[in-house]
Structure 1
Amino acid sequence: MMTEQLTRPLDAHKVAFITCVNDAHWYDECRLYLEALHLPAGMTAEYLPVRGAASMCAGYNEAMMRSEAKYKVYLHQDTLVVNKRLVADLLAIFADAAIGAVGVIGCRSLPRSGVWWDGLRTYGRVLHACEPESVVDSHCREPEGAYQAVEAVDGLFIATQVDLRWREDLFTGWHLYDTSECMEMQRHGYEVVVPNQAKDFWCIHCPKEKPLAASYKKYQKIFLQEYGAELHPEV
Structure 2
Amino acid sequence: MEAADLLPLLEQLDDNIDDLEEILQPVLDGSVVKTSSNLPVLDKAKFHVLVTYALESLIFSWLRLHGVNAKEHPVFRELTRVKQYFEKIKELETGPEQRTLKLDKEAAGRFIKHGLAGNDKFDLERKEREAKERARAQLKASLLAKRDSSTSDPPTKNASDESEYESDAESEDADEKPAPTTQKSKKKQPNDDKKRNKDKQRKKLNKDERKEVKKDRRKKKGDMRKAKNLK
| Class of the TM-score when normalised by the shorter of the 2 chains | under 0.3
Which has more radius of gyration? Answer: 2
- Whose relative contact order is higher, 1 or 2, with alpha carbons under 8 Å and at least 6 apart? 1
The answer to which structure has the higher strand fraction is 1
Q: TM-score, normalised by structure 1?
A: 0.15
The TM-score normalised by the length of structure 2 is 0.15
